[in-house]
Structure 1
Amino acid sequence: MPSALLPILKRSLPLVAITLLAGCTIAKPRTDDPYEKFNRDMYAFNDSMDKAIIRPVAVGYRKVTNPPVRRAVSDFFTNIRMPITVANDLLQARPMQAAQSTGRFLVNLTLGIGGFFDPASQLGIPLQDTDFGITLARWGVPEGGYLVLPFVGPTTARDVWRLPVDSYFFDPLSYYSRNHDFEYGQEYLPELFYLVTLRSRGIDAESFLQSAYDPYVFMRDAYRQQRLYELYDGNPPAEIIEQMQGLKDKNFDPDELLEEQHSWENKQPEQGKQPIKN
């Protein structure tokens, strides 16, 4: 994976979004990347950190747990961080969504035995996910330049603000670590365990990245498209999708792009066909 702590941003990486948005056409890589040299250096640094430390820990976690256990732990962390979504729904002036997320949080906290189970989904209460970056977007703050930060991964000049704001004001895990002081920094264990849990989910998506023509570009575009999907509640306008994909660019040639991809694949015939070791 391209980031040492990429899962801090989104569950399982934003790889599904690129498939959803691309549909039957080929998405042209975004070129408005003013900090690309810096970003690629940080991408390489994060990738090295991930391979050396984060991924081995996540693989070990998968080896000592089974899917039901991992699902229960994942449900717990998803629910305990629901106040982030509730708070940002209120900041976005969306009281109905805030009430719905509050109901989901309380149902899973009680009937779900602390959040280790997800009865709210069975009751038809959908899972919503938003943050301060989306809040700024809804109030008209422009996206700004794309950034890859060390130990964080992909973000933008706008989205980067969700890290301090959501973490400090709304995240119960961060609140817990700030208000407890144990030996050897044990107050940070819940946050570290959360990151390991999320990173372990990303292992299943690694084949997408391994088969990409340019992993950096793939992750950059996937991140931006995933954020666009969140901003429009999973249903972005067609014209915005076309603009992001570059379909309105008069110089865009999907056949040429496809030919480049096939040429790269032919040079590495086994790329993406090897099973991922975990």
Structure 2
Amino acid sequence: MTQTTTRYWILAALMLLLLVVTATTPATAQTVQEPEGQRAPTVNSADPYENWNRSVFSFNETVDEWVLRPVAKTYRTVTPDIVDRGVTNFFNNLTEIRNFSNSLFQLKGESAVVAFGRFTFNTVFGLGGIFDVATAFDLPERPEDFGQTLGYWGVGSGPYLMLPFLGPSTPRHFTGLASDSFILPSAWDAVEEPEVYFLRALQIVDKRADLIPAEGIISGDRYTFVRNAFLQRREFLINDGKITADPFANDDEDDLMLDDF
């Protein structure tokens, strides 16, 4: 079986999983019947697996506290700002291939041209993407991923999921993440082992280090804050910046700055 055929089968399996999960998600909030005088807490249809999600969130927080965050803090301490910015730019430049392909899938010709232009300018004139010269040419990044492509074509997000190590997600988002990482063309395909593992590790540490300044805006229940911020950010991206109804509008922590996540 060729590599291309294998990718098609994996993509088909992911799409089937997405359809099954979204089809079995509760459509509305439900309340379990309790004896008279007692009422079970309502279950929000956007987060029907909250108990499980909170357990996974606690696990991820423990891993982050003892492993990832200390490494990220050390990285921020020892890495000069210009080098840190260059590393971030380099990895952002690799995502332009993803932005380009998903812009085509969503019939966004202008966004595809911008992604192609950014990758070309930054790779050629920005020393492989270390310097973001494309922004200076009035070509700002337009993030697009396969999860957004699925949303563009009407696929529902499914329930909110907190995944071990990977963090906040939904079936649609996870399918898109897996497709972008293993199915669709990517600049990572050109990187051989074992270098690819070192670069992936550096990318994770660099991304975690960039999130440290944003930790100060988190207030109230951390789980609720992270959940709301993630879902709002995903809707913001899928709708190209258009504000839509917030499924958690009644929560205390719904006044979030989307660009911080």
TM-score scaled by structure 1? Answer: 0.71
2:141 alignment partner, SS class: coil
Q: Is the 8 A contact 2:89 2:129 kept in 1?
A: yes
Unaligned stretches of 5+ residues in structure 2: 1-42, 254-261
* 1:77 shift after superposition: 0.8
Give the aligned partner of residue 228 of structure 1: 235
Q: Which amino acid aligns with 1:215?
A: R
Q: Which amino acid aligns with 1:193?
A: L
Give the aligned partner of residue 31 of structure 2: none
Change (3 A) 1:101 1:162: same
Give the total of aligned pairs: 209
Give the aligned partner of residue 86 of structure 1: 100
Question: Share of identical aligned residues, percent?
Answer: 35
Give the aligned partner of residue 267 of structure 1: none
Change (3 A) 1:90 1:59: same
1:189 and 2:189 equivalent? no
Structure 1 outlier segments of 4+, above 4 Å? none
Q: Is the 8 A contact 2:145 2:177 kept in 1?
A: no
2:117 alignment partner, SS class: helix
Q: Is the 8 A contact 1:149 1:155 kept in 2?
A: yes
* 1:94 shift after superposition: 1.2
Q: Which amino acid aligns with 1:244?
A: P
Aligned equivalents of 1:217, 1:67: Cα separation in 2: 32
Q: Which amino acid aligns with 1:56?
A: P
Q: Which amino acid aligns with 1:191?
A: R
Q: Is the 8 A contact 1:79 1:105 kept in 2?
A: yes
Aligned equivalents of 2:216, 2:186: Cα separation in 1: 31
Give the aligned partner of residue 219 of structure 1: 226
Aligned equivalents of 2:207, 2:109: Cα separation in 1: 29
Q: Which of 128, 148, 158 is equivalent to 2:162?
A: 148
* 1:187 shift after superposition: 3.3
* 1:176 shift after superposition: 4.2
1:127 alignment partner, SS class: coil
1:46 and 2:49 equivalent? no
Give the aligned partner of residue 215 of structure 2: 206
* 1:245 shift after superposition: 5.0
Q: Which amino acid aligns with 2:179?
A: V
Q: Is the 8 A contact 1:176 1:187 kept in 2?
A: no
Q: Deviations over 1:133-154 (max 9, x none)?
A: 1000000001110000001000
Q: Is the 8 A contact 2:150 2:176 kept in 1?
A: no
Q: Which of 185, 190, 196 is equivalent to 1:170?
A: 185
Q: Deviations over 1:144-199 (max 9, x none)?
A: 100000010000111110221000123323x245xx334xxx43111110111100
Give the aligned partner of residue 244 of structure 1: 247
Give the aligned partner of residue 58 of structure 1: 72
Give the aligned partner of residue 275 of structure 1: none
Change (3 A) 1:206 1:231: same
Change (3 A) 1:53 1:172: same
Cα RMSD between the aligned structures? 1.8
Aligned equivalents of 1:171, 1:152: Cα separation in 2: 20
Aligned equivalents of 2:145, 2:97: Cα separation in 1: 10
Give the aligned partner of residue 35 of structure 1: 49
Q: Is the 8 A contact 1:146 1:155 kept in 2?
A: yes
Q: Which amino acid aligns with 1:198?
A: K
1:133 and 2:147 equivalent? yes
1:170 alignment partner, SS class: coil
User: Looking at both structures, which has the greater relative contact order when contacts are Cα pairs under 8 Å and sequence separation is at least 6?
Assistant: 1
Aligned equivalents of 1:42, 1:88: Cα separation in 2: 30
Q: Deviations over 1:54-104 (max 9, x none)?
A: 111111111111211111111111002211111111111112211111011
Q: Which amino acid aligns with 1:213?
A: G
Unaligned stretches of 5+ residues in structure 1: 1-29, 247-251, 259-278
